[in-house]
Amino acid sequence: MQVLMFTGASGSSLQIYGALFIFLVTYAFIISEKISRAIVALLGALAMVIFGIVRLESALFEYVEWGTIVLLIGMMILVTIANQSGLFEYIAIRAAKKTKGDPVKILILLSGLTALGSAFLDNVTTVLLIVPITFSITKVLKIKPFPFLLAEVLFANIGGTATLIGDPPNIMIGAANPHLTFNAFLLNLAPVIVLITIVTIGILYMIFRKHLHVEPEDQQKLMEIDENSYIVSRKLVTRSSIVLVSTIALFVIHPLLSRIGLHLEAPAIAILGATILMLLTIENNHQLEEVFARVEWTTIFFFAGLFILVGGIQEVGVIRFLAEKTITLTGGDIQTTATAVLWLSGIASATIDNIPFVATMIPLINDVATGIGLSPDSQQVDVLWWSLSLGACLGGNGTLIGASANVIVAGLATRQGEKFTYGRFLLYGAPITIVTLIISQLYLWIRYY
C-alpha cells in the first residue's frame, strides 16, 4: 500500500484506516458540540488504545504532553488565588479608566498586551492572566466579552510567533537549529508579526465596530468607581503580586538559567509558583479544596484525550505521510517547498496539534536541504524554518482546537456563561488565519526570494 511505503509504519492498513476513522468521527462530534468536548476526546483516545492503534504506555508517556498539562494546572492555581484577592478587578478598572471606557481603545489595549505577553511567555499563561481582567472590564461596561476574547485568542498565537520562546513550535525549531538564535527569530519574524497585528486589529474593528458601543452613563459609572474598593485583602494582593511577577520573570529568564545548570522549565516554574502561593495563602483543607475545584479540569482532560487522539494518527504514519508527500511534490525547489511548508503547516495546525507535526517536519526539512546539496543551517534553508514557524503558529487560529490558548479561553468563557463554540470561532478565526497566511506568503516572497 502506498501509504505504508511513504510512512514506513509498522501498523497494518486496517490500523491506518481505523486511526483515521476514529480521528474523523471524534473530530465531527467535537465540532457538533452535542456532547462535552472532554468526554468526546477521552472516548476517541480510549478507542485508539482499545483497538491497538496506540499502546497504553505510549499514550500516557509518549503522546500526552505532561509538560503542557502541568503548566496549565500550575497557572490555573496561581490565577485562581490571585483572583480571590480582587487583583484582576483592580487592574481591569485602572486600565479601563485610562481609556475613558472607550471599548475600541480597550480592544486595542488588551490585544496589544496579549501579543506582547505571548512573545515572551507561553501563550496559555498569557491568556490565563488577561482573560479574568477582560471579564471584569466587560462586566462593568455592560458589553459582550466575545470580541475581546476572540482578539485575545488570535493575538496569543500571533504574538507567540515573533520570538524563539513565544510558542512551542518555535522552541522546537530553535532547539534543532542552534544558529537560529533569539535575535534571529526576532529579526526575521517580528516585522511580519507587527504587520499582521495591525491588519488583524483593523479586521476585528470592522467586524465588531457596531458591538463596541458603551452607553455614556456606563462610562461615567466606570470613571466614578474606586478601584481600591475591589481589593478584598491587601495582604493577599501583595503576596499574589510578588509570586505572579516572580513566576513571569522566571519564564522570561529560564533559558539563561539552563545555561548555568538550573533546569527550571516552564511547567516546573508554574508549579513552583503555584505551590509557593498556596503555601503563603492557604490556611486549611477547605480553602485548598476550593482552589483545586476551580481548576478547569474539563479543559485538562480534553487536552489529555486530544494528545492521545493525535498520537494515534501519528503512530500509524499519517502525519509523516502528508509531510513527505508535500515535500516530494515540490521537487526540492526551495521557493516552492517554502510555500508548501507554510500552507501545509497552517492547515495542519488548525486541525491537529502543531507539536507532533513540527516534530515530523524538522527531520524532513533537514533531508530536503541535504538532498539538494545545502546545509540545514545555510541561509537559503532558513526560509523553510521561517515558513514552518509562521504556518504552525498562525495556523492555530484556524479552529477552536488549533492551539492550547483557544481551548483555555473557550473553557473560561463557558464557565462565565459566554457562548464560545467551535462554529462561532471558526466563522471568524478561519478567514483571519487565511489573511495572516497570505500576508506571511507575501512577506516571504518579498524578503527572501
- Cα gap 390→282, rounded to integer Å: 43
Mean pLDDT by 10 residues, the chain (449 residues): 41 83 88 83 94 91 83 85 82 82 90 86 80 87 92 94 82 81 88 96 93 83 82 89 88 75 80 94 90 86 86 82 74 83 91 74 77 75 93 93 86 87 93 97 91
| Residue among 311, 384, 328 at smallest CA distance from 6 | 328
- Cα gap 448→56, rounded to integer Å: 45
For residue 108, the tally of other CB atoms under 10 A from its CB is 16
- Cα gap 379→184, rounded to integer Å: 11
Q: Report which DSSP code applies to 229.
A: G
| Residue among 390, 401, 387 at smallest CA distance from 352 | 401
The CA radius of gyration of the chain, in Å to the nearest whole number, is 22
Per-domain residue ranges of the chain: 67-294
Residues listed for the chain: 449
For 319, phi and psi rounded to 5 degrees?
Answer: -65, -45
Q: C-alpha grid cell for residue 361?
A: 517536519
Which stretch of DSSP H or E encloses residue 172?
A: helix 168-176
| Residue among 314, 329, 327 at smallest CA distance from 360 | 314
Identify the three-state secondary structure at position 1.
coil
Q: Which pLDDT belongs to residue 1?
A: 36
Q: Which pLDDT belongs to residue 267?
A: 83
- Cα gap 399→196, rounded to integer Å: 18
Which stretch of DSSP H or E encloses residue 89?
A: helix 87-98
Counting runs of H as helices and runs of E as strands, what totals does the chain give? 22, 0
Q: Which pLDDT belongs to residue 5?
A: 43
User: Is residue 61 classed exposed, middle or buried when 0-12, 13-18 and 19+ CB atoms within 10 A define those classes?
Assistant: exposed
Q: Which pLDDT belongs to residue 11?
A: 53
User: Is residue 234 classed exposed, middle or buried when 0-12, 13-18 and 19+ CB atoms within 10 A define those classes?
Assistant: exposed
- Cα gap 133→118, rounded to integer Å: 16
- End-to-end, the C-alpha distance of the chain in Å comes to 38
- Cα gap 167→157, rounded to integer Å: 8
Cα 272 to chain centroid distance, Å, stands at 22
Q: Which pLDDT belongs to residue 228?
A: 85
Q: Which pLDDT belongs to residue 3?
A: 40
